[in-house]
Structure 1
Amino acid sequence: MAQHTPELPPELPPELRPLAEMPWFKRLAARFFGHGLTRLRAQHRASWLHGQADGFRSGHTAGVEYGFKEGKLEGLEEGRQVLLIRDSRSTEHRPPSVDNHLFDDWRLPLTAELKKRMKADVGRLLPGHAQPSAAQWKMIFSDTPSTSVVAGAGAGKSTTLVLRILLLSHYLGFELDSMTVVTFTRESRKDFIDKLIEVFALWGLTLSLRQARELVRTFHSRILPMVRSLPGFERLQAFENLSQRSLAGEEEADSNPFDLRINDAQRQQLNACYHRLFTEDERFRQLIQPLSRAGLQLKELERDHPDVQKRMAVTELASRRDEELCDAIEDLWFRAGAWPIKGIEPNRQTFDINGSTFHCHGYIPSLDAWVVLGFDPRENPQVCRPNAKLSLRAEWAVKRTLFQAFCRKPLIWLDSYESSRRVLATLAGDASAGPGFDYKVKGELASAPLLDCFVAAAGFIENLGLDVPDAVGRMSFAKDDPDRFFFEALSLFWRAFEDHLLDQKPPVMTYNRMFALFSEHSSENLKLLSDELLRPLSHLMIDEFQDVSPQIVSWIRASLSEIRSRGPAMHVGRGAQRSSLLCVGDDWQSIYGWRGSSPSYFMEFNKEFPSPSTTRVMLSDNYRSHQYIIDAAEHIVRAAPAIAGKKAKASGEPKTPHPVNVLERDDQAMGQRLAEHYRQGHSILMLYRKSSDKLLIQEHIQPVINVDSSLPYEARRLKQLTYHSAKGLQADAVFLLGDCQHLTSSPYKNQVYRMAGLGKNGESEPYDSAQKDEILRLAYVGITRAVSHCYWYVDPQEAPAANMPRASDRVARGKPFFADQRPEKKIG
């Protein structure tokens, strides 16, 4: 390769350029001669210039070569650094993520040695049938901050939960005041307390009744002390616990908050608030008017109703005798001093009913409604008009049925002298005793006193975690729908009622209001609580979690979040550190949606209770029933949404399988079969859907009732309960009376369900859909109460209703676990 000779640098002085361009030989001679002159200390200008030029050239050449090499290396390195920096940097701005976990990232300090020791103790101290299964040990030894336990019917969860408490307190040294076990009812709380004391005693540990009652609580008994810790609320009472005893200063600390019946002490507060609001608020008075008319108005009857079809045939005959019937009925009211009524004009008017003429007794101008007097039930039912074949009562019944089916004018039918007094009080604006009329919200099965309807609707809305006035403000109804006036009146009444309760001495508050005070919407209030009040929620264990409501979930999350935010300072000097949540439930046994509960919080446990790590346990062994009972119940419920992977298997002592018998309703045959099981010494549950069904069967099982009720309570073998009340119970033989069916559609509940974010996105009737699933779960609960025998008596159905399915529609013929003995329906 030819050597590269660099060009002369452009910055060479002009006077050196000619010399620099001299031939090489002359330049060498000049340099030599110049060197001699230097030694003589003489200076030859041309030689000096030649040397300077030569130095420039050689120096430039070396400099260029050196600079090229060094510059190239430095440039490459610098380029490499720039490239690396550009690769590692992000142009996107991202703030730090938020840690929304309810718990620290920690684990229960369980060693192999500790587990081995506890297993040995359990093997030694508990009987063989009570030894935990592998899945139950997984629940007991769960070491993650959160644990969800799917425990099917008969899974033996109570003993497992007791052993979990034993692990925390005895083997790990956690203080009992750092734990709470939550049960939903007084009965389940009492049973669990007894079992806890019994198991602790086997370990030689003394657990007093007071200690056990402090540990095992209902949600309501935990929230009450929180509110009472606030200034001015030290003696606060719960509205749900109000009774004549509490008004006298004796509190029922363990009353049942799910008893929806209004007692006298509660009604006294409701009536007092109503009277004041009716007196002072003009808009409230205006709203009561259409409600009273709707409440008092005669309820319609479908024209294809059997009673209507039967009585239509005598319409013309009834019309001819109607004026005389009016006179006779009116005479009875006169004699009773119940007619005329102030505010009702005693003017008769004729009505066209199915082509015939009938009469009313009066008119109410303030309600624009007509009045018909009825036959008071206290009168002699045999009394007749002269020469009449039917009694007055029978003639009146025909007229009432025809009016219900064919009268479309606003009409108030006064059934009794007592009802007339209530109407009189309403018309006179006397609100001292409350509204004085019943009302039926669309979607409810029956009418009830107006204030009872207010309490029920407000309770449902608040259980969903919503504020009543805010929720009402987001509802919509048709212009002529009386529910539009009902909910506006509810909004006014409920705010006034809560203020009225707080004005009492001592103050009163509903449980829902208490939970709302410490929910995620007002979590700052939790900072007012002492460590001692919050500490029992540190290690929270909840049974029947599938029945929890959105309101309770919000309170639990807010409490756990506050406990975590307080950090280690809350646990200084204590064995129990940090916090945990263990929930036991069965989404197939969620049957309280009608009061605002939802299984979705259990089904979506990981999302609803965010945790660094969660343990899921499936308790699939059923120690109660044989496999046919299990398979039949699961076949019914499997059409409802459920946690994936559930399939129970019969465990424990083998039992002879008997199919679930499905029979057409026959009360006499049912009574005979029940008596036979009683004679065989079996325990029996008779479950009914309606109280009227219970009354109908009474005469057929009276001999059994007489014998059983004469025994001590513990020795009794017959229990009669509703399907809902039977949860947690079992019997050798179970008799189910009546089908499970969602009979109505609830416009207002569908609206508030959507507001609460429940149901599927875009679903127009989420509450109704949830209830159609719930009827399947209710049948599952009923069937799984049985240990050996189950009989299900259902009313015949002419044709399946597309929009109102029945649980018995899921009964499958040809399956060994069902014996469907109903006659097959003929087609065509």
Structure 2
Amino acid sequence: MPQHTPDLPPELRPLTEMPLIKRLLARFFGYSLTRLHAQHRASWLHGQADGFRSGHSAGVDYGYKEGKLEGLEEGRQVLLIRDSRSTEHRPPQVDDLLFDDWRLPLSAELKKRMKADVARLLPAHAQPSAAQWKMIFSDTPSTSVIAGAGAGKSTTLVMRILLLNHYLGFELNSMTVVTFTRESRKDFINKLIELFSLWGPAPSLKEARELVRTFHSRILPMVRSLPGFERLQAFENLSFQAQDSDAEADSNPFDLRINDAQRQQLNACYHRLHGSDERFRELIKPLSRHALQLRELERDHPDVQKRIGVTELAAKRDEELCDLIEDLWFRAGAWPIKGIEPSRQSFDINGSRFQCHGYIPSLDAWVVLGFDPRENPQVSRPNAKLTVRAEWAVKRTLFQAFCRKPLIWLDSYESSKRVLASLAGDASAGPGFDYKVKGELVSAPLLDCFVAAAGFIENLGLDVPNAVSQMSFAKDDPDRFFFEALSLYWRALEDHLLDQKPPMMTYNRMFALFSEHSPENLKLLSDDLLRPLSHLMIDEFQDVSPQIVSWIRASLTEIRSRGPAMHVGRGAQRSSLLCVGDDWQSIYGWRGSSPSYFMEFNKEFPSPSTTKVMLSDNYRSHQHIIDAAEHIVRAAPAIAGKKAKAAGESKDLLPVNVLDRDDQAMAQRLMEHYRKGDSILMLYRKSSDKVLIEQHIQSVVNVDSSLPYPARRLKQLTYHSAKGLQADAVFLLGDCQHLTSSPYKNQVYRMAGLGKAGDSEAYDNAQKDEILRLAYVGITRAVSHCYWYVDGQDNQAANLPKASDRIGKGKAFFADHRQGKVSA
């Protein structure tokens, strides 16, 4: 504490200035007088001054200490009050969870009782593993089950339903089990009835069909509940004659084929739009010209290199060739064609002059007539060594490589009729020409291309016109006109379908009506329509699309918002979600599906608590099959910690045999397995490969096809169609290769938020991962034997990624017998 001289009364101040000796004498003298009860004024004043000074000093010291303690206490109280109050405004947090915080009422006694029943009623080999019991007894609102190939997930899922219904009293109509294909749905229904019958009365076939559904069959009743849509038809189901809900439930979401009933509606809409919208008509012209133009060939293409040496000789005979072909067309009544000016024009092709047959002013394109395949292939010019057909093939190849003018090559009399209809503006039968969007493998009728592109965009949860408005293309890119035309056409088609009696709608539009973008529509639904989604179990969840995910989240949000009143008087309360899948088996990205929703399950389906189950046991294949498949796919992003192990009956460890493509050798080996009594899957990538191999195994095909379907031991399927199946011996024909880049899919993929941030080729990169997963699916169909016949190197695809690049060298689970490869 700082020292200072206190303020004295005026009469005492001079005394403080006296010398120290005098002050001491004064004090002593004053003390003596005090003892005598007398007073000496000067001494008294000195004492008074000294006392004042010492008393003041003590008082200040005491007061400072007391005041400081009191001030600190008061200050502490003020600070505490201030700390407990925030001057910042903070609103309440938003509860964006899809579920209430609840648990299934699973007591230890109930679990013990169910386990005892399972041990008593099921054989030893069918007893669940510890991981499977974890899935069955999951008590959290959400559950994700990572189930690899052959993990026995279907049986475990049936036992989960048994727990909810038989042991907890949940009504079957409070649940939905979703499968993706009619085959898997049928198998699951049979398994459900069979297992339930061991515990007592099994559900009827009708009840089982109500429980086991597709997403499509759940959304359709929702839309039909809206006023005016009671008889609504799904566009995808127009081929079904009977309005049977079970038939609708069996519709295949991955079937892109357009039937006659659907095409009739597509053509009618096209005809109306083409006649009423000038901009649409203008867009069709460049598409028509581009589609009809002769496809270009690279100059280093083998066909070009083989024929380039006869360019000069071909040019010398070209005028006679033109005359002869023109005569054939004239005799067939296919020439001249209205709208095409018969006008010979010379072209410089690799330094030589060739001729065409006509010109189309409306398309600004030249026309060359081809050799119709129905004509006699042996027709030839007088004294010519080659047939007309061969000469025409040489000319066509040279034009493909060296002609850069807009050129339409009419291959047949039939194709001329389509051109004639297009030029005449006759849109009643549709556009009449094929188109190929960049990134697609093959061309298809224009309206089929519209349906495929719109389906992909909508599967990603996007609106077609809005998505198109955000795309960008080079000025001379015909896809620019394609997507603008698609935007106009798709909106017109949706209106056209709704105008029909009864009204029609695509499934994608139905899901969009009840997605997170339109939550108010869900409030129009009755409790009875929403209740089956209360406890939702989804198989093959890795194949779900963004569109479906949005509908699931919106439905669960609405169910939760209705609260306990929705479940009064029922055994089933609240809601839950259980998803089973394998991100390594996600192979439908080309349709808009993505494994990311499964891989990031907790983020995509926020829940108070989630159970994660890893089913690692493989009850189908031996360890070499498992290890080979996992070695291929491990380069793709995946859920961490996956490693399957062979379970059940032990089998001989045989490597996956990798061989050069040899159809004859493959057929012989296939027939050997068939004679031994093995079940066989022959999987192919191209339908043309199936035709080729059937020539060598016709005897087996004839015998096997005469048997009832369940007894057949040979199945020939694409890689994609084989998912869920298994066989003793699997023959894989062809590699899994990423062949094209899709500019438009890359753009809409980014719009949908898929792929890595900043990745301009998000879709293409996702497809490079998907080819590895496709090979994984193929290999893991095998129980004991797997043979993989890989095609030789294609010059055009040599540098493109393929699954066989991942075949391990020196690995016991691979035996690489290809020429130039070292066998493991």
**Is TM-score (shorter-chain normalized) higher than 0.5?**
yes
Secondary structure of residue in 2 paired with 1:283 = helix
- Is 1:543 equivalent to 2:539 in the alignment? yes
Q: 1:65 to 1:744 in 2, by over 3 A?
A: closer
**Deviations 1:374-401 (CA, angstroms, capped at 9, x unpaired):** 1111111122222222221111111111
Q: TM-score, normalised by structure 1?
A: 0.91
Match of 1:641? Answer: 637
Match of 2:429? Answer: 433
> Map of 1:18-33 to 2, 5 A cutoff?
none
The one-letter code matched in structure 2 to 1:670 is M
The one-letter code matched in structure 2 to 1:632 is A
Give the distance between the partners of 1:164 and 1:442, measured in 2 at CA: 46
- Is 1:212 equivalent to 2:208 in the alignment? yes
Match of 1:482? Answer: 478
**1:695, distance to aligned residue in structure 2 (A):** 1.0
- Is 1:759 equivalent to 2:751 in the alignment? no
Match of 2:567? Answer: 571
Q: 1:8 to 1:146 in 2, by over 3 A?
A: same
Match of 1:768? Answer: 764
**Identical counterparts, % of pairs:** 87
**Deviations 1:274-317 (CA, angstroms, capped at 9, x unpaired):** 00000000000000000000011111112222111111122222
**Deviations 1:391-447 (CA, angstroms, capped at 9, x unpaired):** 211111111111111111111011111110000000000000000000000000000
Match of 2:807? Answer: 811
> Map of 1:376-391 to 2, 5 A cutoff?
376-391=372-387
With 176-185 and 244-253 compared, the bigger mean Cα shift is at: 244-253
Match of 1:526? Answer: 522
Which of 113, 116, 119 is residue 117 of structure 1 equivalent to? 113
Specify every segment of 5 or more residues in structure 1 that has no aligned partner in the other structure, as ranges.
1-5, 11-22, 24-62
CA contact (8 A) 2:99 2:576 kept: yes
The one-letter code matched in structure 2 to 1:419 is S
Match of 1:360? Answer: 356
The one-letter code matched in structure 1 to 2:307 is R
**1:353, distance to aligned residue in structure 2 (A):** 1.2
Give the distance between the partners of 2:108 and 2:247, measured in 1 at CA: 48
Match of 1:691? Answer: 687
Match of 1:592? Answer: 588
**Deviations 1:30-67 (CA, angstroms, capped at 9, x unpaired):** xxxxxxxxxxxxxxxxxxxxxxxxxxxxxxxxx99999
**1:814, distance to aligned residue in structure 2 (A):** 0.9
The one-letter code matched in structure 2 to 1:488 is E
**1:657, distance to aligned residue in structure 2 (A):** 1.0
Secondary structure of residue in 2 paired with 1:351 = strand
CA contact (8 A) 1:531 1:570 kept: yes
CA contact (8 A) 1:245 1:251 kept: no
Match of 1:780? Answer: 776
CA contact (8 A) 1:114 1:171 kept: yes
- Is 1:616 equivalent to 2:612 in the alignment? yes
- Is 1:233 equivalent to 2:238 in the alignment? no
Secondary structure of residue in 2 paired with 1:418 = helix
Secondary structure of residue in 2 paired with 1:294 = helix
The one-letter code matched in structure 1 to 2:820 is E
Which of 712, 734, 740 is residue 736 of structure 2 equivalent to? 740
CA contact (8 A) 1:271 1:434 kept: yes
- Is 1:321 equivalent to 2:312 in the alignment? no
Give the distance between the partners of 1:369 and 1:725, measured in 2 at CA: 43
Q: 1:237 to 1:251 in 2, by over 3 A?
A: farther
Secondary structure of residue in 1 paired with 2:523 = helix
Secondary structure of residue in 2 paired with 1:740 = coil
Secondary structure of residue in 1 paired with 2:347 = strand
Match of 1:394? Answer: 390
**1:80, distance to aligned residue in structure 2 (A):** 2.4
- Is 1:630 equivalent to 2:630 in the alignment? no
Q: 1:797 to 1:362 in 2, by over 3 A?
A: same
Secondary structure of residue in 1 paired with 2:517 = helix
> Map of 1:219-368 to 2, 5 A cutoff?
219-243=215-239, 245=241, 252=248, 254-368=250-364
Which of 597, 602, 609 is residue 601 of structure 1 equivalent to? 597
Give the distance between the partners of 1:699 and 1:358, measured in 2 at CA: 42
The one-letter code matched in structure 2 to 1:709 is S
Give the distance between the partners of 2:776 and 2:197, measured in 1 at CA: 36
**1:583, distance to aligned residue in structure 2 (A):** 0.3
The one-letter code matched in structure 1 to 2:807 is V
CA contact (8 A) 2:662 2:789 kept: yes
Which of 160, 169, 182 is residue 178 of structure 2 equivalent to? 182
Which of 443, 454, 460 is residue 458 of structure 1 equivalent to? 454
Secondary structure of residue in 1 paired with 2:730 = strand
Which of 662, 665, 671 is residue 666 of structure 1 equivalent to? 662
Which of 511, 517, 533 is residue 513 of structure 2 equivalent to? 517
Match of 1:722? Answer: 718
Which of 391, 403, 406 is residue 410 of structure 1 equivalent to? 406
**Deviations 1:186-221 (CA, angstroms, capped at 9, x unpaired):** 111010000000000011122100100000000000
With 583-592 and 91-100 compared, the bigger mean Cα shift is at: 91-100
Give the distance between the partners of 1:620 and 1:250, measured in 2 at CA: 34
Secondary structure of residue in 2 paired with 1:515 = helix
Match of 1:19? Answer: none
**1:689, distance to aligned residue in structure 2 (A):** 0.3
| CA RMSD between the two structures | 2.7
Q: 1:148 to 1:411 in 2, by over 3 A?
A: same
- Is 1:560 equivalent to 2:547 in the alignment? no
Give the distance between the partners of 2:153 and 2:123, measured in 1 at CA: 16
**1:799, distance to aligned residue in structure 2 (A):** 7.7
Give the distance between the partners of 2:249 and 2:93, measured in 1 at CA: 45
With 655-664 and 252-261 compared, the bigger mean Cα shift is at: 252-261
**1:92, distance to aligned residue in structure 2 (A):** 3.6
**1:803, distance to aligned residue in structure 2 (A):** 5.5
**1:373, distance to aligned residue in structure 2 (A):** 0.6
- Is 1:200 equivalent to 2:210 in the alignment? no
CA contact (8 A) 1:246 1:252 kept: no
**1:361, distance to aligned residue in structure 2 (A):** 0.6
Secondary structure of residue in 1 paired with 2:788 = strand
With 327-336 and 539-548 compared, the bigger mean Cα shift is at: 327-336
Specify every segment of 5 or more residues in structure 2 that has no aligned partner in the other structure, as ranges.
1-5, 11-29, 31-58
CA contact (8 A) 2:217 2:248 kept: no
